[in-house]
Structure 1
Amino acid sequence: MSKVLLIKESSLHPLSLLDRLTGYFVQEDYILSHGFSNLDVLLNRMIALSQQGEHQKIVFTVYPGGDCSFINTMKETCPLLDSLQSNTPEKTLAFLYEYVLGTILGLTAEVQQQNIICSDDLPGALRDVDEGQYALGIIVAS
């Protein structure tokens, strides 16, 4: 089942966050329609991207609100790719917590525990981000 990590507060502007990810991830914009009626297209795109190439790759989408979201696909040249022999939604979530939120963004486990909620309700969670209840959402497809 697809999930959204809801981040209550972020010291980084979403574009600064994306900039930090460029060393490990290829990024593309995706426009979400009003009411998120094309969310299934986004999830299918993410799944397709994760299965391209020699390895299954980590793919997640950063959603800061509004209509624009940013799909992040792990680069084939990423040194972390070899540690991911098979990719599952659980591995993607663990990777996000450890490497993206922890190592790349510098959020300690304590800050993550206080600041991040995981939700299965994608439309509801994205609406909450859009309404400003959360700084951003990170979508993981399955």
Structure 2
Amino acid sequence: MPKVLLVKKAALHPLSLLDRLTRNFVQEDYILSHGFANLDILFNRMATLSQQGRGQKIVFTIYPGGDCSFINTMKDNSAFMDSSTAGSPDQTITFIQENILGVLLGLTQEEQQEIVSMEDVPAALKALDDGEYALGFIY
């Protein structure tokens, strides 16, 4: 079952973060319905994308609130694509923590300690919409 990492603050605008990920990730928009009734379709799309191409890929969705989310699928020619980055949930979360939170978002260790992981995806996305968090990573 997918989980969500919730980030309290992010120095980058979500579109700037997406721009920095384009070298290694294919991105597509996904519109979430009111009340998140179509999350199952998002989860199925992420699972399908993780199995396409060479090996299992890291796939995660960035959700900044509102109705638009951004699915990110690692490219086959990514510098990160090797056997150590197969797309299991543990490897995806490790990739996000090591390469996105600290490097791209510039979060300090203290700020990273404030990150919350939730298994209740609709509740996590509602917390984002309510302004409790700045950014969510669905993985």
Which consecutive unaligned segments of at least 5 residues does structure 2 have?
none
SS at match of 1:49: helix
With over 3 angstroms needed to count, the CA separation of the structure-2 counterparts of 1:85 and 1:97, relative to structure 1, is closer
Output one character per residue of 1:100-120: Cα deviation in whole Å (capped at 9) or x when no partner: 222333323332113x11100
State whether residues 11 and 106 of structure 2, in contact with CA within 8 Å, keep that contact through their aligned partners in structure 1.
Answer: no
State whether residues 119 and 125 of structure 1, in contact with CA within 8 Å, keep that contact through their aligned partners in structure 2.
Answer: yes
State whether residues 62 and 69 of structure 1, in contact with CA within 8 Å, keep that contact through their aligned partners in structure 2.
Answer: yes
- CA RMSD between the two structures: 1.3
2:18 paired residue number = 18
1:48 paired residue number = 48
In the alignment, the residues of structure 2 paired with residue 82 and residue 95 of structure 1 have an alpha-carbon distance, to the nearest angstrom, of 12
CA deviation after TM superposition for structure 1 residue 83, in Å: 4.2
In the alignment, the residues of structure 1 paired with residue 78 and residue 60 of structure 2 have an alpha-carbon distance, to the nearest angstrom, of 15
State whether residues 61 and 70 of structure 2, in contact with CA within 8 Å, keep that contact through their aligned partners in structure 1.
Answer: yes
1:59 paired residue number = 59
Which consecutive unaligned segments of at least 5 residues does structure 1 have?
none
Alignment-mate amino acid for residue 8 of structure 1: K
SS at match of 1:84: helix
In the alignment, the residues of structure 1 paired with residue 109 and residue 51 of structure 2 have an alpha-carbon distance, to the nearest angstrom, of 30
TM normalised by structure 1 equals: 0.92
SS at match of 2:69: strand
1:103 paired residue number = 103
CA deviation after TM superposition for structure 1 residue 4, in Å: 0.2
How many pairs does the alignment contain? Answer: 139
SS at match of 2:107: coil
1:71 paired residue number = 71
CA deviation after TM superposition for structure 1 residue 72, in Å: 0.4
1:126 aligned onto 2:125: yes
CA deviation after TM superposition for structure 1 residue 54, in Å: 1.3
CA deviation after TM superposition for structure 1 residue 20, in Å: 1.1
In the alignment, the residues of structure 2 paired with residue 111 and residue 85 of structure 1 have an alpha-carbon distance, to the nearest angstrom, of 25
TM normalised by structure 2 equals: 0.94
Alignment-mate amino acid for residue 58 of structure 1: I
Alignment-mate amino acid for residue 129 of structure 2: D
1:80 paired residue number = 80
Alignment-mate amino acid for residue 123 of structure 2: G
Moved over 2 A (4+): 83-87, 102-111
1:37 aligned onto 2:42: no
Moved more, 98-107 or 4-13: 98-107
